[in-house]
Amino acid sequence: MNHPSDALAHFELWRSTHQADVERALSTWVTADAPAGLGEAMRYAVLDGGKRLRPLLVLGTSEAVGGGRESALRAACAVELIHAYSLVHDDMPCMDNDVLRRGKPTVHVQFGEAQALLVGDALQALAFELLVPESGVEPQLGSTLCRLLARASGGQGMAGGQAVDLASIGLALDQTALEHMHRLKTGALLQASVMMGAACGAPDENATAELQRFGAALGLAFQVVDDVLDVTADAATLGKTAGKDAAADKPTFVSLMGLESAQAYADRLLGQAHLALQATGLPRVSPLHALTDWVGRRTH
Amino acid sequence: MNHPSDALAHFELWRSTHQADVERALSTWVTADAPAGLGEAMRYAVLDGGKRLRPLLVLGTSEAVGGGRESALRAACAVELIHAYSLVHDDMPCMDNDVLRRGKPTVHVQFGEAQALLVGDALQALAFELLVPESGVEPQLGSTLCRLLARASGGQGMAGGQAVDLASIGLALDQTALEHMHRLKTGALLQASVMMGAACGAPDENATAELQRFGAALGLAFQVVDDVLDVTADAATLGKTAGKDAAADKPTFVSLMGLESAQAYADRLLGQAHLALQATGLPRVSPLHALTDWVGRRTH
């Protein structure tokens, strides 16, 4: 395990195993039972696509703190459902008006706008439902997980960040304002993924604080990398429409600092994430280090 | 308290006191803190309007079973936030395309479609957040309340009912199909209001089962009354656009059974609700009886 390529192979195995677990769990929990085609549309929005970065962060963090498997898997899927609902609503004509997502027609293109609206709404409810089963998750933990998820996804988290994003189209944001928007819009849910994983175990105060820092740095790095990809990658690689942000006149880290500086900034943030992980003092953090590299590798 | 008019005056006091409590609590919990005008738009969607029937059902049931005040008030507001978000999304152009609600321009008319979408999303998250505070609600109870609310509002509850509603425009539904749709679309959340109030205390098995029946009968009665109002009332009385269902070629209890039979059916369901309440054997159910009459009084 000392050779880098061994470590990479080990991570790839960890990643594919955990992705398969998440895929299976999502397929079980997102049933086709909702009537009038809603269930099928929910499955279409959630299954067979996506990197599952957020679930992997939940599971990796939970393993690092010795968390319970069932709780962590439910938390992982709940975060992914919130992410999935936000994509469905974001893609709608009144928001980004996007027609391609993960290489497939977006939900409103496939099922109509009204159904897409309901798909997003129902996925959000299901996310919270997964965290509070009648058995399988201690109520104290379920309650904490709901709180973390609700705060990260609501008006002072993801939804708030999207409101700032809408309001900032065409504006010349400075880096502080841009970072604030992204800390809400994508950072809050990525950080919550880490903290929900942490809640599944019982990390000490120092480890908790460092995991917070890890999640914050990784969350922001993810967005900087995303902005870089938006100008360097094509639709076939991305599985979604490329160049959308520039076309929509949205401020990005690339438009603000230039491509090379944005790439360097991403690397710096990823370095901070690695340092915070080391500082946790937790023994089983190598999948989290590897996930951090994985987020970064998308740039190069 | 034996004279009917005394009982009515007593209920009016109970209702106005509890409505004021709910209004104050909503104003405290739905803050303007969400950025880029989202907080203000959330407050616009929630405050200063509405009968607060669902919160009153939560509070009335909780009092009947000796539930804790703080938990019940949080549950009451959470249910109302779910109801409010569903109205915001329902009114959007891709759904009912309604411009008037509670006598005011609908949220998307006032703030734009994208903001309305986010308002609904953020209100849903806030509903769950209210149920799991760091203190004030026992985690076991918070977890139960989240489960009841998520199930009632998701794909196999309210959102599912809306999908059936969309799919049934122009179809000749029979009474069974129409009732199934309404049990999901409006009944599930009304019944959940009762059961969330019940969860705040510890009713015995019989009382729990009868409260389920009470909630189901009242929930359906509410919808039948709503259909009657849609053809008999005008926009000024309703505070929303009248005659919408008929105009949209949506099946209603009135279109199915005629106005008089629909009114008689509403009365029969209200009678069932009263009987179920009596059968609970609970001592303090007079506000719930009065709420049942209040729902029915809207017809006459």
The string of DSSP letters for A127-187 reads HHHHHS-SSSS-HHHHHHHHHHHHHHHSTTTHHHHHHHHHHTTT----HHHHHHHHIIIII
Cβ distance of B163 and A35 shorter than 8 Å: yes
Per-residue pLDDT band for B171 (boundaries 50, 70, 90) equals confident
Output the six-digit token pair for A280: 């946790």
Q: Report chain B's mean pLDDT, rounded to a whole number.
A: 93
**To the nearest whole percent, how much of chain B has pLDDT over 90?**
84
- For B105, the 3-state DSSP assignment is strand
8 Å CB contact between A230 and A245: yes
Tell me the one-letter amino acid at B162.
Answer: Q
What is the pLDDT, as a whole number, of residue A171? 85
> Could you tell me which chain B residue has the CA closest to the CA of A39?
B155
What is the least distance, in Å, from the CA of A132 to any CA of chain B? 6
What is the pLDDT, as a whole number, of residue B165? 93
Query: Which residues of chain B make contact with A92, given a CB cutoff of 8 A?
Result: 94, 117
> Could you tell me which chain B residue has the CA closest to the CA of A91?
B114
Beta-ladder partners of A104: A101
Interface test with B, best of A107, A131, A143 (most B CBs within 10 A): A143
Please tell me the least confidently modeled range out of A59-68, A141-150, B26-35, B169-178.
B169-178
What is the pLDDT, as a whole number, of residue B1? 45
Per-residue pLDDT band for B264 (boundaries 50, 70, 90) equals very high
8 Å CB contact between B162 and A36: no
What is the least distance, in Å, from the CA of B108 to any CA of chain A? 10
Query: Which residues of chain B make contact with A86, given a CB cutoff of 8 A?
Result: 121
User: The complex's ipTM?
Assistant: 0.95
Q: Residue B122 pLDDT > 90, yes or no?
A: yes
* pLDDT tens digits, B137-163: 999 999 999 999 999 999 999 999 999
What is the pLDDT, as a whole number, of residue A165? 93
Query: Which residues of chain A make contact with B163, given a CB cutoff of 8 A?
Result: 34-38, 115, 118
Cα(B162)–Cα(A265) distance, integer angstroms: 46
| Closest residue by Cα to residue B166 from A114, A107, A34 | A114
Cα(A171)–Cα(A224) distance, integer angstroms: 18
Strands (E) across chain A are located at 100-101, 104-105
Cα(A262)–Cα(A3) distance, integer angstroms: 30
Shortest CB distance from B154 goes to which of A129, A140, A154? A129
Q: Which fold has domain B4-297?
A: Farnesyl Diphosphate Synthase (1.10.600)
pLDDT in tens, chain A (300 residues): 457 788 889 999 999 999 999 999 999 999 999 999 999 999 999 997 789 999 999 999 999 999 999 999 999 999 999 999 999 999 999 999 999 998 899 999 999 999 999 999 999 999 999 999 999 999 999 999 999 999 999 999 999 999 999 999 888 889 999 999 999 999 999 999 999 999 999 999 999 999 999 999 999 999 999 999 888 876 556 555 556 666 667 789 999 999 999 999 999 999 999 999 999 999 999 999 999 999 998 754
Query: Which residues of chain B make contact with A125, given a CB cutoff of 8 A?
Result: 124, 150-151, 153-155, 157, 159
Q: Which residues lie closer than 8 Å to A228 by C-beta, 6 or more apart?
A: A253, A254, A259, A262, A263, A266, A299
| Closest residue by Cα to residue B196 from B69, B62, B84, B295 | B62
Phi-psi category of A48—alpha, beta or left, where left has phi over 0 and alpha has psi -120 to 50? left
8 Å CB contact between A239 and A291: no
8 Å CB contact between A280 and A210: yes
Domain ranges of chain B: 4-297
Residue B256 CA, distance from chain mean position: 24
- For A100, the 3-state DSSP assignment is strand
Length reported for chain B = 300
| Closest residue by Cα to residue B79 from B195, B226, B239 | B195
